[in-house]
Amino acid sequence: MEERIELSFKGFLTAVQTVKLYGKDHPILNKALKEAFKSITEALNDRPVFTIGIIGEEIAFEKEILFSLSNLSKDAVNYIKERGIEKITFNRGLELFELERFISLLSIPKDDIKESPQEKLYLMGVHNISVGKIGVSESKGEDSDKGHFDNLSLSLLSVLNQESIDGLSLRAAVEHIINNLAEQYQQLAKLNTLKRYDLGTFAHLISTSILSMYFSSKIGFPKDVILDIGLSALFHDIGKLYISRKIIRNPGKLSTLEFSLMESHTVLGSTLILQYVDTLGVMPAVVSFEHHLKYDLSGYPKLKFPRKPHIVSQIVSICDVYDALSERRSYKSDYPPNAIYNLMMRGKETTYNPFLLDKFFQLIGVWPIGSIVALGDKRVAVVVEENQDDIFSPIVKIIYPQKEEVLVDLKGNKDNLKIERFLNPWTEGKDFLIYLQS
Contact region with Fe ion (CB under 5 A), list: 13-21, 304-312, 316-324, 363-371: 316-324
Closest to Fe ion by CB, 166 vs 237, is 237
Among 62, 86, 228, 237, binds Fe ion (CB under 5 A): 237
Instruction: For residue 228, state whether it binds Fe ion (rule: CB under 5 A).
Output: no
Helix, coil or strand: residue 130: strand
Nearer to Fe ion, 327 or 409 (CB): 327
Identify which of 366, 287, 381 has the alpha carbon closest to the alpha carbon of residue 329: 366
Q: Is 145 in the site for Fe ion (CB under 5 A)?
A: no
Region near Fe ion per CB under 5 A, out of 68-76, 232-240, 391-399, 405-413: 232-240
Cβ closer to Fe ion: 104 or 244? 244
Alpha helices in 124-250 (DSSP H): 141-160, 167-179, 181-194, 203-219, 223-234, 238-249
CB contact set of 53 (below 8 Å; sequence gap of 6+): 59, 60, 61, 86, 87, 134, 168, 171, 172
100 binds Fe ion (CB under 5 A): no
Listed residue (168, 92, 195, 88) closest to 437, CA to CA: 195
Q: Which is nearer to Fe ion, 11 or 309 (CB)?
A: 309
Cβ neighbours for 35, distance < 8 A, ≥ 6 positions apart: 11, 14, 15
Phi, psi of 250 (to 5 degrees): -125, 70
Closest C-alpha to 380, from 432, 437, 438, 436: 432
Q: Least CB distance from residue 325 to Fe ion, whole Å?
A: 11
Q: Between residues 79 and 360, which has the closer beta carbon with respect to Fe ion?
A: 360
Shortest spacing between CB 283 and Fe ion, in angstroms: 16
Q: Closest distance between Fe ion and the C-beta of residue 334, in Å?
A: 22
> In this complex, which beta carbon is closest to Fe ion, that of residue 18 or of residue 270?
270
Q: Whose CA is closest to 432, among 410, 401, 404?
A: 401
**Selection from 91, 168, 167, 173 nearest residue 134 by Cα:** 168
The 3-state DSSP composition of the chain as helix, strand, coil percent (nearest 5) reads: 55, 10, 35
Query: Which SS3 state, helix, strand or coil, does residue 201 take?
Result: helix
* 364, 322 contact by CB (below 8 A): yes
Eight-class DSSP state of 302: P
Q: Does residue 6 touch Fe ion according to CB under 5 A?
A: no
User: Minimal CA–CA distance to 206: which of 197, 215, 214?
Assistant: 197
Q: How far apart are CA 327 and CA 201, in angstroms?
A: 13
Q: How do beta strands 380-385 and 395-400 pair?
A: antiparallel
Of 16-24, 221-229, 237-245, 353-361, the window that binds Fe ion (rule: CB under 5 A) is: 237-245
Q: Does 58 participate in binding Fe ion (rule CB under 5 A)?
A: no
Binding test (CB under 5 A) with Fe ion, winner from 320, 367, 380, 424: 320
Q: Which is nearer to Fe ion, 43 or 233 (CB)?
A: 233
Minimum distance of Fe ion from residue 292's CB (angstroms): 6
Please count the residues of this chain forming the interface with Fe ion, following the rule CB under 5 A.
2
Mask: binding to Fe ion, 284-303, rule CB under 5 A, as x and -? --------------------
Report the residue number, 13 or 319, with the smaller CB distance to Fe ion. 319
Contact call for residue 386 and Fe ion (CB under 5 A): no
Selected range binding Fe ion among 20-28, 98-106, 159-167, 235-243, rule: CB under 5 A: 235-243
Q: Identify the three-state secondary structure at position 128.
A: coil
The CB-of-204 to Fe ion minimum distance in angstroms stands at 6
Using CB under 5 A as the binding rule, the residues of this chain from 163 to 202 that contact Fe ion are none
Binding region for Fe ion (CB under 5 A) out of 4-12, 176-184, 210-218, 313-321: 313-321
Cβ 116 to Fe ion shortest distance, Å: 42
Closer to Fe ion at the Cβ: 6 or 320?
A: 320
Which positions lie near Fe ion, rule CB under 5 A? 237, 320
